[in-house]
Structure 1
Amino acid sequence: MLIMKGLSCCLLLLSALPSAAAFVGSPRSTHNVRTAAAARAPPKSYPTVDITAAAAASKSTTAIYMSSTSSSIAVVAKSAVTAVFAQLRRHAKLLLVLLTASLLFAKRSNPQTLLWPGTQTDKDCDAPLPAGGYGCPFIGINLFDGNKDYGPFVTSWQLGQKYGKIFKTYFAGFPIVNVSGKDNIKALLKNEFKGEGRGIGTKLIGGEHNLGDLFGDKAVLYENDAGKHGRLRKLAGDAMTPVAIAEALPSFQDLANQQVDRVLKADTIQMEEVFNDFTLDVAWKQILGLDLNEEDIPEFRKMVQIWVKCIMDPMLLVPFRIPGLMKWTKVGRARTYIVSKIEEKLDKLERDGPDSSTLSKLYFATDDEGNKLTREEVIHNAMILIFAGSETSSSTLTCASLLLGLHPNVWRKIKAEQDELVAELGEEFTRETLDKSVYLDSVIKETLRVKPIEFGEMRLVENTVEVDGKQIPKNWFALFNVKQTHWNDPSTFKEDGSHMDVREGFQPERWLDETTKPSEWMPFGEGGRRCIGERLGMAEMKVFLGMMARKLDRYDLVNVHGDDDIVWKPDTVMARPADGTEIRATAADTSHAVEYQI
């Protein structure tokens, strides 16, 4: 029966491949958040599949072909075949993943429907399903897709504009309910840690298999037991207390100073490369405390970047373990390399005792009974810290450098604030320096509001829950959407969408007044699983931007000259400018300070 279902759906896909490809790919229409009509426009690329209409169209097309000459038929046939195979080549990898996932999910969930397996409602719950659409039969809608005007996940944004804060959809064989809005997200997350088979859990799409292998199943990210999660979070948190972060500031400052000098020596430079190197250097030097020579540093950077980038590979979404993934593939070799470096460092810590690294604090942390993390728990949670301390901070800094280039008045205020702090506290970055960098703090927070670190987080609904009068059935996934929550924040919302525009919406001053401060800001997540590395990330970003402001008088964006020049990478996990924010910098005149006025 399962095979017949799969064959039926394959035939349906092949008979309507252009439609299927449209569902898998995202709409390519331009996105300008400053246009009210565009902000309210529904998605344009998600028509309802009408099999009757498709059959009628097929008959009509056949009649046309029959009346054509044989040469015309050959030309049309050749064009059609070429188009079909072009689409197949383009989407074959993702289609294979989606079909495989759908088949396995269908078998596991005993679905009541063929076209979208697993989408049955909970008959014992009186609440209805939310509005929404499933997209292409058996495959759904590619929520990962983006475009150059919006960046990643544009499809999800468009669906939110059409259906509101809560909507249903379908992706890779999995039924999903998108949830946004602070109250709705809190209502969802209150169902965490209710025990096995109850409430919601952190099982991600493919997380217990391939994605889980990337970090390790002993990471705090994957722990669903309330007691075990609390223990892991406390011990990992002990490595990132305010005191621990303060001890890391000299290392952050030294690494930032090296990279800013690199910026000043270049004619033009891509800040994305600078920030990637800075955050990866923080990873090996401060987080892991490695002793790398000049030849080893590029190799470490390369391996971590390979490991991080693979998270967007659709092959990792298949709900079964890929044999040899962590041994024979490029990402597997990269992870093996990183783990080997962690192992070497742990051996050194066992031999020589604690040092100032974050890994050392993680390794020697004890709970109230004096118990430590196991070696495996240390390694798996160190992998989480490497990802959080590199990719997320690098993406945010790259966006911040673009925004500051677009707003030179904001840049001057950061410089003035840092000039005052140097005069008052000296050149060394300390905990007090960061605490008093109030305007710099507001700049980073505003960057995270407009371009948040993450799109959202996924939870498996292990027992039917209700949010805002809508049911999210058992075995569905719930995605709480950070970007959409920021969009709909009542404290900042504007009908024309300008509050999220990088030119008109970027206003750090809003954070300095309680009456204008955003009320639904959650770039680091929410609830008991809020990002454990938040303090670490904020500290390294403040130090770098503060160092830039002290050593650069100004900088100009090389590739941005008008409203249409800002282009985003469509296929990243986090928002990044397509040109990597290429700049031309001018050194600061340090002979005088600038008066700080906001």
Structure 2
Amino acid sequence: MTPTALAVDPQDTMPLMGEAAPSPAGPISEQELAALPAPPEIPLPRTAQVLRFSQRQIEFVFGWQRRLGDTFRFNGIVPGRPVITAHPDHVKSLFTAKPEDAPSLTGESPLRPIVGPNSTLTAIGERHMRQRKLLLPSFHGEAIARYMQMIEDAAHREIDRWPTGKPFSLAPRMQAITLDVIMSGIFGIDGTPKPGTAEWGLRTAVRGLVEASTAPGAKIAEFMNVGRDEPVGLTRIGMEILDRPTYAVIAKRRKAPDLDSRTDIMSMLMRAETEDGERMDDHELRDELLTLVLAGHETTANSLSWTWERLVRFPDAHERLIHAVRADDDADTWIEATINEGMRARPVIPIIGRRVTKPWQLGEYGVPAGTPITMSILLVHHREDVYPDPYSFRPERWLGAKPGTYTWIPFGGGIRRCVGASLALAEMRVVLRAMAQRLDLEADRPEPEHAQHRNVTMIPARGARVVARAA
């Protein structure tokens, strides 16, 4: 690969970042609501909307945005005929709202029967804030710094195993790296556990469930669990397989003589106390740990996979990154810009939401109390007024610019912003650098990969297939 100059082409005068025109949003009175029209609705039967949204969300939301505008109503699996919005001011109104005015829809998420009701992800109100306060210290700067060498070692071990000169999928390779990080950083399990141990059972169960989640029947299992507090069907069987080693590892760690000095996140959570001296019981701990495993492990892996899927189809961006890393020419800046652009272009979680408890204005429209309002991260990230040339992969748009609080939202926002964001970004920086140093990658075919929707995530349909050669 021949590196190109890092400087942006001086002939390229297109602005790299912009700003959306203001749009009023926030809680309103019943009288104000009566004066506003309702958002336009998608004129399709509910079954057709559910199927199209769950199978081809990108085409679905972009297509109806073109027809109906930035705010429209659809009829999906979430009760209450949700509204989809794509305006940053609407996002801001929800992220900055009082928790009781706009509680998160994750309390109704299909992940609830999987990670349980006690997780920071699925709890709402005071329960959520309690769990969040217990979890946050585990992800402060010093804690993340301790994991950096471990992440780098895991990345290089995995890269050593990759084939060269023939196509392979990056997604499972990325998952292998992030699983190593989860096992070590979250559970304090270093290396490959001995077969037959609880640690070995945990690792094996996690890998098996992630693989099973792409099976043909997985989507049916998801629909069966919507609106439930406890898993049913195949999901219940899978969770029983995962719960056994999880609780065994928890019990073993509670008896560990060095518990008070351990720095892994599980041990820190066991020691964490509320202001009233409360600690997490085994069920709460299980819910938080599985949230970190399933949410942190897979979302980070697929963010990396999507970023490379984009890079290998945009040669200028790819070559600029390679040159920056190998020549050590402002590498940190280009790595950060590439990550920001990857998460903008292909957010792994494409939509998030709140259920407002008061009437709410969304630009020219109003919705009554009880309405689910979903923010399409995909649509926000592809606004042409904010991101000119939004369908191109242009890391240079981030040079000298920081992600906007309400225009770059792959981790959500407000009090619901992902607590593991700092660890995820640290992993991505290390892995991206290691791959750019050691490998020349190219796409196995020129066409971009479609998105496959799995539970609440969006993943590369073919796993981000590439051909690798040693640098």
Deviations 1:434-477 (A, max 9, x none): x9722101101101111112111122233322232422212321
1:174·1:476 contact (CA, 8 Å) conserved in 2? yes
Partner of 2:448: 566
5 Å-filtered alignment, 1:377-456, equals 377-419=284-326, 437-456=332-351
Partner of 1:159: 64
Task: Name the TM-score, length of structure 1 as normaliser.
Answer: 0.65
Deviations 1:157-213 (A, max 9, x none): 21122222221222245311112222111113333422xxxx222245854xx6421
Change (3 A) 1:350 1:288: same
Change (3 A) 1:491 1:180: closer
Change (3 A) 1:312 1:343: same
Please tell me whether residue 373 in structure 1 is matched to residue 373 in structure 2. Answer: no
2-structure distance, mates of 1:183, 1:491: 12
Please tell me whether residue 214 in structure 1 is matched to residue 119 in structure 2. Answer: no
1:306·1:330 contact (CA, 8 Å) conserved in 2? no
| Cα offset, 1:260, TM superposition | 0.8
Partner of 2:414: 527
> Over aligned residues, Cα RMSD in angstroms?
3.2
Partner of 2:363: 468
5 Å-filtered alignment, 1:246-257, equals 246-257=145-156
1:203·1:460 contact (CA, 8 Å) conserved in 2? yes
1-structure distance, mates of 2:284, 2:113: 13
Query: Which structure has the greater CA radius of gyration?
Result: 1
2:107·2:122 contact (CA, 8 Å) conserved in 1? no
Please tell me whether residue 338 in structure 1 is matched to residue 245 in structure 2. Answer: no
Deviations 1:496-525 (A, max 9, x none): xxx232xxx111111113499897111111
Unaligned runs of 5+ residues in structure 1 are: 1-121, 424-434, 494-498, 589-598
2-structure distance, mates of 1:586, 1:314: 38
Deviations 1:516-538 (A, max 9, x none): 98971111112110111111111
The amino acid across from 1:385 in the alignment is L
The equivalent position to 1:577 in structure 2, one of 444, 460, 467, is 460
Unaligned runs of 5+ residues in structure 2 are: 1-29
2-structure distance, mates of 1:357, 1:541: 20
5 Å-filtered alignment, 1:161-180, equals 161-172=66-77, 174-180=80-86
The amino acid across from 2:244 in the alignment is S
5 Å-filtered alignment, 1:29-108, equals none
2-structure distance, mates of 1:193, 1:584: 47
Change (3 A) 1:129 1:361: farther
Partner of 2:441: 555
2-structure distance, mates of 1:515, 1:347: 43
Change (3 A) 1:475 1:145: same
SS of the aligned residue for 1:201 comes to: coil
Larger % of helix: which? 1
Please tell me whether residue 223 in structure 1 is matched to residue 123 in structure 2. Answer: yes
2-structure distance, mates of 1:357, 1:212: 25
SS of the aligned residue for 1:332 comes to: helix
Task: Name the TM-score, length of structure 2 as normaliser.
Answer: 0.81
| Cα offset, 1:216, TM superposition | 0.8
Deviations 1:258-303 (A, max 9, x none): 2111225573321122112222332333322346537545543112
1-structure distance, mates of 2:136, 2:108: 27
The equivalent position to 2:102 in structure 1, one of 190, 200, 208, is 200
Please tell me whether residue 145 in structure 1 is matched to residue 53 in structure 2. Answer: yes
5 Å-filtered alignment, 1:484-563, equals 484-488=379-383, 490-493=385-388, 499-501=389-391, 505-514=392-401, 520-552=407-439, 554-560=440-446
Partner of 2:159: 260
SS of the aligned residue for 2:290 comes to: helix
Partner of 2:43: 135
Q: What is the aligned residue count?
A: 429
Task: Tell me: higher relative CO, structure 1 or 2? Use CA pairs within 8 A at least 6 residues apart.
Answer: 2
1:490·1:519 contact (CA, 8 Å) conserved in 2? no
Change (3 A) 1:454 1:320: closer
1-structure distance, mates of 2:35, 2:225: 30
| Cα offset, 1:567, TM superposition | 3.3
SS of the aligned residue for 1:219 comes to: coil
Partner of 2:207: 301
5 Å-filtered alignment, 1:349-360, equals 349-352=253-256, 353-354=259-260, 355-360=262-267
Deviations 1:60-119 (A, max 9, x none): xxxxxxxxxxxxxxxxxxxxxxxxxxxxxxxxxxxxxxxxxxxxxxxxxxxxxxxxxxxx
Please tell me whether residue 188 in structure 1 is matched to residue 94 in structure 2. Answer: yes
Percent sequence identity over aligned pairs: 21
The amino acid across from 1:481 in the alignment is S
The equivalent position to 2:377 in structure 1, one of 482, 501, 508, is 482
